[in-house]
Amino acid sequence: MQRALRFGLLLAGSLSSLSFLPALAPAQTGVPAPGQPILSAQSRMLPVLARKGMVSSQERQASQIGLEILKAGGNAIDAAVATGFALAVTLPRAGNLGGGGFMLVHLAKTGETIAIDYRETAPAGSTRDMFLDSKGEPDPKKSRDSGLSIGVPGTVRGLALAHEKYGSGRFTLADLVAPAVRLAREGIAVEEDLADSLPAAAARLGRFPSSAAIFLKDGKPFQRGDRLVQADLATTLEAIRQQGPDAFYSGRIAASIARSAQAAGGILTEADLAAYRPVLRQPVRGSYRGHEIVSMPPPSSGGIHLIQILNILEGFDLKATGPGSASSLHLLAEAMKPAYADRAHFLGDPDRVKVPARGLTAKAYAEGQRAAILPERARKAEEVAAGNPLPHEPDQTTHFSVLDSEGNAVSNTYTLNFSYGMAMVAEGTGVLLNNEMDDFSARAGAQNAYGLVGSDANSVSPGARPLSSMTPTFVFRDGKLFLITGSPGGSRIITTVLQVIVNVIDHGMNIAEAVAFPRIHHQWRPDALAVEHGLSPDTLRLLAERGHTVRPGTTSGSANSILVSRDGITGASDPRQRGTAAIGY
């Protein structure tokens, strides 16, 4: 790594030479159009500016590592891989080796966009009814707090595949893992998000001696200003650095992961780990007000339902109703409901069930759902049901976005499910394990930890990938990359990404405003409208008068995003957590 950084050529060129920068309308570049409200460079909320490249993630040290790779001549994929490994050290509640996720890669030279599915899979010993109790009822303790909740991790092979197929060739995988090794071995200061999250997770971490030995001190969480050293994790990362991903999926590390899962009542085996492979998929595509939307396909539900909701909204003039108004928020909520009803009915692992993706994302299908929206009254959940798209056929998580000087880009979302996953470290590895199996449907109609309803399409099956809401997304304008976004947030991920896009395209906000603006969320069931603090009490009253059950106070997501404008590269990290950072050069 040091050699590569020392001799890597710093990227050169001026803003005018970056051919991927589009010419944008003034309302989308920080300059208000005549008669428009000032949501612009004159506002109090300004994005980070850069000329050559940018990394926006949920943790500053990880963003800085990615940026150094860009500066030394790496491309966006190189930087994303280094950032992903670093987050496993600096953001242990969500960054991970023991989980999985989704990555979108855009290659500027060919114009190609690729989806890398490195979602966790169900162990081979999984059965359809494994999360039911003796009475046939879902048992959340089995799917969330026992070894049965652990899916086969995909992150290490996923990041390695991204590097192998799409990296610049200037860096080996060893180069990109080395900064994470150093951080784990030397330790990191307990500040920002880490200091906030450890006390909240202390009781869960304390259940397992292997976790308590790392994240607790004398039975109590580390305090702000302490130093967290993760020696076992450094050893695991060093093995990956020297031997590649096989070091994680076979041998000592795999044996320790399987043994720890089984000791907690799980069924994960070394054979499951050895058999794991990521999958390359075609992204889902749609359009919204002249912009192309490219997002993650199943087993993510995110891309399909993001496009579905945007299709519904396209028939309304959100710009006229204005950001944060009761009328705009009502339309957003009513457009969300049918998408989540469809999600509950149709979505699952595409390698196992037929997902009607084209029908769900068809403009004609959205027309019927749009016509059912009542402008002055909220529909109750029982008034909204899954539609028929077939005639139209042809918690804790983290997201980061990366853009390089050539226009290559990465939008990556990966997860352990809950904060700190199952909260169990595999003995001797430093690796926190996921509890991702809760994302399967324990039975048709049952809700998972995020209240999402599932169907047989998402039932447990050996080797299957559980349905996800992760929504890494690119938006293109006039054929050129315009916006890179995504978010953590469980069931709220889709609506978080939706509102960033609407805030930019409909309301002309700069990317910092678009990310920070208060969000809402409705997922059909439970039948309630979650709203963040910051919206007017009068707006909330008007929403309640229209029939919405308003539940204020829930923070939603961390949409670390990058927008390309005529001003250059503009980025924003989400202010909802401490320690997030968009860094450019």
Q: Is 253 exposed, middle or buried (0-12, 13-18, 19+ CB in 10 A)?
A: buried
Burial 76-95 (b: 16+ CB within 10 A, else e): bbbbbbbbbbbbbbbbbbbb
Q: Are 495 and 333 in contact (CB under 8 A)?
A: no
Tracing tokens 């969500």 back to the chain, one arrives at: 94
The separation between CA 123 and the C-alpha centre of its own chain, rounded to angstroms, equals 23
**What Rg do the C-alpha atoms of the chain give, in angstroms?**
22
Count of residues for the chain? 585
Contacts of 35 (CB under 8 A, 6+ apart): none
**What is 387-404 written as a DSSP string?**
---GGG---EEEEEEEE-
State the Cα–Cα distance between residues 469 and 494, nearest whole angstrom: 6
User: Do the beta carbons of residue 427 and residue 433 sit within 8 Å?
Assistant: no
* CB-facing half-sphere around the CA of 46: CA atoms within 13 A: 9
Q: What is the DSSP letter of 132?
A: B
Backbone angles phi, psi at 396, to 5 degrees: -140, 145
Provide the sign of the torsion angle of the four alpha carbons 357, 361, 365, 369, taken in this order: positive
To the nearest 5 percent, what fractions of the chain are helix, strand and coil? 40, 20, 45
- Among all residues, which ones are annotated catalytic? 397
Assess contact for 89 and 233: CB atoms under 8 A: yes
**Which residue from 316, 318, 474 is spatially nearest to 399, judged by alpha carbons?**
474
DSSP assigned state of 533 = B
